[in-house]
Chain A
Amino acid sequence: MKKELSVDTATIKKKDTFFAKLWEQRAWVMMSFPFIVYVIIFRYLPIGGWVLAFQNYWPAKSLFDQTWVGLENFRMLFDDPVFFQVLRNTIAISAIKLTLGMFFAILLALILNEVRNLRFKKITQTISYLPYFISWVVAANLVRDLLATDGIINEILMALNIVDKPIMFLGVPKLFWWVIGFSHVWKQIGWDAIVYLAAMTSINPNLYEAAMIDGASRLQRIRHITLPALRPTIVILLILNIGQLMNAGFEQVYLLQNGRVIEYARIFEIFELDFGLKMMRYSFATAAGIFRSVVSIILVFSANYIAKRLDQERLF
């Protein structure tokens, strides 16, 4: 890094101020400028809509003729009888998805790395990507069919005498989080494994050879060489995903839920829809959205900070 800097500073003559640098780097500035404008217009301008949360927004009036209510919408949010249930479901579902998703993706990557038959490896890998290409709208139907009482999973379980009557996977409230977790794994595992496989390709093969000479078993090689090489990727994905704890994945949950499991299925996005938009309580929905965004930001910055303190990779 020192070296790169020195190359650059050679071209900078006298002033080392911010603006001088900016002028010096004008090519980069020009290349990135449109995208700064872009992100501000498309992603930040709508955030101005957060003022809705402090009003009692009614559509027929202009934004400035609305009644201001201060923090009333937030008070209603926190006082809502199902608020904690919603919070619990959201965090539980995303935490389960995060853990299972990561665990199985790493497992698949390790397993694929152990397959010696390259043809088989390639075929399996290709098949495992398949669910990634479909939307949840389609996937939810497939998952429903898979898990139905006359679906293939129940038929296999019955054939193997593991259960004596079909399990109604989608109808058991306590199972719902796990249905979401495993259907997430089903859809994402192949694709998510790619990141780890990519990280593995950068491991120096000499390390494995040296370990073999030292008599390390396959499991030991996985534990001492492969896994440590994955650490930076794992850390970055963890930071990225910890911020997503407040987003449990609207489409998936919405499409797989049913009346029977409502207590375990109502996540923030669904709550905002049912008690917000659908009731024209736009301000209330916005307040809930703000709460979610703020928590996310706190989580991601804390995770990033902790990573920095532990001298790990970090996001920014």
Chain B
Amino acid sequence: MKKFKGLLLLLVLVMAFGALAVAQEYKEFTLFSSDPLPDYPGSTILGDIIDEATGIKLKREFLVGDLETRLGLMIASGDYPDMMYAAHYTQRLIDAGAYIPLEDLIEEHAPNIKKYYAKYFDMITAPDGHIYFLPQQAIPFGPGERRYPELGFYINKRVLKDAGWPKIKTFDEMFELIENYMKKNPTYKGQPTIGWLTTFDSTYSYSTTNVPAHLAGYPNEGGFVAPKEGGKFKVRPYHTGQIEKYYYQKLNEMYHKGVVDPEMFVINYDQYIERLSSGRVLATFAQHWVLQQAQDILNRDDPDSILVPFPIVFDETVEEYMRDTPYIQQTQGMGITIACKDPVSVIKYWDYLVANQMLIQWGIEGEHYEVDEDGMYYRTEEQLALFRDPNWVRDVYGRQYYLNLYPSLTGVAEDGNSYVPDNQPSMIYQAATAAEKEVMDAYGVKSFTEFYNPPKPWEEVPYYPIWTITIPTGSPAHIEGTRHSDMLREYVPRLVMSDPSEFEMIWNEYVNRTRPLLQLRMEYIQEQLEWRVENWGPKNL
């Protein structure tokens, strides 16, 4: 027993000294983030500058395991960190009384937040008149060009090159192309070629199930769409619709031809990325951020197999609007919890982050970017090479630890520079990799977004997007939603993998069981959408 006591004492001492060393100079705050980042490396280029300037160090908890479970526990117990970001479940924290109101703090202590957010305050003000969080996704300033669209049907570069760089428009065309290529190239680097693979991992399964909405030309709305009927937006389900039937029937056909990865429904997200990174997947659908990792790896290790996005639709008659209308995250963001003893320091810390967006996103002048005679920022080839290595950006530079979850800005700053380096007009083409340039040159475009129609302006869709409408937790509509996702998890694999002769039967069963599970949410969303149109409609983003 003596030994254990000694060991334990040692442990306690080590921990106590550790805590002391930190406490001497810096104020410490705790942070929870639902981004499953690896633990903070302890020191990064950005982190060191920010710690020094603010006198604040953070103790970060990044999500391990399931977010809803973690939140369920945290809310039930009331043990919160000082600041907290919980993605799509922000409303739960507000409902549970976890967040403190921020408006007075901002007014008194955060001149920069006040300045940049001024236009959007009423969009993030809760019905009770308080502001509980600052949106996670950047506040949009100006148009903001991008190299990649937000989402797309991605086709492997080898396939496009082989076919002489065709512009693919419809789902049928795409599969014809893939099938032809597969016949000629059944394997790639010794492994079987995979024609079509999307992820069905529970967290990302919308990359598989939302496809019918996009085939119908809609942008990323979520589980419902809102076409205009008689001058009014009407919330409509696309699940159980004709295009969804077409989609699954097509996948079913392709599955039996061996084009669809037979393990599509069994593998998890990691394996999905692994397969994409191997270069043997010919086509997929995803949000860009879902497959970004794979694209980075391909760009570095297998540039012939990078994935090129296209706005593919059901048939020629569909006009696509797949790009996002710039919006702010009305329902997600970081807040200060009731557990925080010094909210003033936290809001000042955020204010510093907002004021120093150029530092966080571009880095240090002369080291990470240069300025030309017109005052425009750009990066040299060596600087670009640094920022192309995702591991360097995260572990050495530290961008992920200071950007995505905090209040941040996008679009164009007052001096004409883009906040996001990749979107700097001069860099969209210039900073692309050789492989990306090859594709762009072949198609005669300067960015992949040129394949797409420009997004609808805000005036035309002043509610956008539907998916940020949060269904009240635990309500009948919420339960209905969970049952619906179960239904999708059960039927989608069956629809795709069933014997073609049984498809009709399974489809009818699916329709009959799903239809009753759409009503409550549709009503709720309609109500919320009308509220948004009424309150935000005149606003010009």
Residue ranges of A at the interface with B (Cβ–Cβ < 8 Å): 58-60, 81-82, 148-149, 168, 170-171, 258-260, 262-263, 266, 273-275, 277-282
Contact = CB atoms under 8 A, between A and B. Distances in A.
Contacts of B77: 59
B76 A259 contact: no
Contacts of A58: 96
Closest 9 CB pairs of A and B: A259-B489, A278-B68, A277-B72, A60-B97, A260-B493, A260-B265, A171-B266, A279-B474, A262-B489
A170 B478 CA distance: 29
B72 A259 contact: no
B69 A81 contact: no
B359 interface: no
Nearest to B66: A278
Contacts of B479: 275, 279
B480 to A, nearest CB: 11
Contacts of B490: 259, 262-263
Contacts of A171: 263, 265-266, 493
Contacts of B262: 149, 168
Nearest to B494: A260
Q: Secondary structure of the B side of the interface? A: helix
Contacts of B263: 148-149, 168, 171
B78 interface: yes
B110 to A, nearest CB: 27
Contact of B76 (A59, A263, A266): A59
A266 B96 CA distance: 29
Interface centre among B76, B474, B493 (most CB of A within 10 A): B474
B205 interface: yes
25 contacts: A60-B78, A81-B483, A82-B486, A149-B262, A168-B262, A171-B263, A171-B266, A171-B493, A259-B200, A259-B202, A259-B490, A259-B493, A266-B486, A273-B69, A277-B69, A278-B66, A278-B72, A279-B68, A279-B473, A279-B474, A279-B479, A280-B72, A280-B76, A280-B473, A282-B72
Contact of A280 (B78, B92, B97): B92
B202 A282 contact: no
A149 B97 CA distance: 49
B380 interface: no
A280 B265 contact: no
B482 A279 contact: yes
Contacts of A262: 486, 489-490
Interface string B92-111: 10001100000000000000
Interface string B253-288: 000000000110110100000000000000000000
B22 interface: no
Given A60-B97, A259-B205, A263-B490, A281 B474 contact: yes
Nearest to A254: B66
A58 B268 CA distance: 34
Contacts of A274: 482
Contacts of A280: 72, 75-76, 92, 96, 473-474
A278 B69 contact: yes
Given A60-B78, A60-B96, A171-B493, 8 more contacts: A59-B75, A59-B77, A258-B265, A262-B489, A273-B69, A278-B72, A279-B68, A280-B96
A171 B78 CA distance: 40
Contact of B492 (A259, A266, A273): A259
Interface centre among B72, B96, B266, B490 (most CB of A within 10 A): B266
B73 interface: yes
A9 to B, nearest CB: 38
Interface in B61-119: 66, 68-69, 72-73, 75-78, 92, 96-97
A75 B92 CA distance: 25
B186 to A, nearest CB: 15
Nearest to A259: B489
A280 B493 CA distance: 29
A279 B478 contact: yes
Contacts of B92: 280
B96 A59 contact: yes
A113 B372 CA distance: 83
A59 B78 contact: yes
A168 to B, nearest CB: 6
Contacts of B75: 59, 280
Contacts of A266: 486
A277 B73 contact: yes
A1 B163 CA distance: 90
Contact of A258 (B97, B266, B486): B266
A281 B489 CA distance: 22
A170 B266 contact: yes
A80 B138 CA distance: 41
B493 A282 contact: no
Contacts of B483: 81-82
Contacts of A170: 266
Interface centre among A148, A273, A277 (most CB of B within 10 A): A277
B265 A275 contact: no
Contacts of B268: 258
Interface string B28-61: 0000000000000000000000000000000000
A79 to B, nearest CB: 12
A304 to B, nearest CB: 35
A164 B489 CA distance: 28
Contacts of B474: 279-281
Contacts of B265: 171, 258-260
A22 to B, nearest CB: 31
A278 B71 CA distance: 8
B65 to A, nearest CB: 10
A27 B205 CA distance: 62
Interface string B232-269: 00000000000000000000000000000011011010
Interface centre among A82, A259, A260, A273 (most CB of B within 10 A): A259
Interface in B481-497: 482-483, 486, 489-490, 492-493
A266 B200 CA distance: 18
Contacts of B489: 259-260, 262
Contacts of B78: 59-60
B350 to A, nearest CB: 25
A260 B266 contact: yes
A278 B473 CA distance: 9
Contacts of B486: 82, 262, 266
A277 B67 CA distance: 11
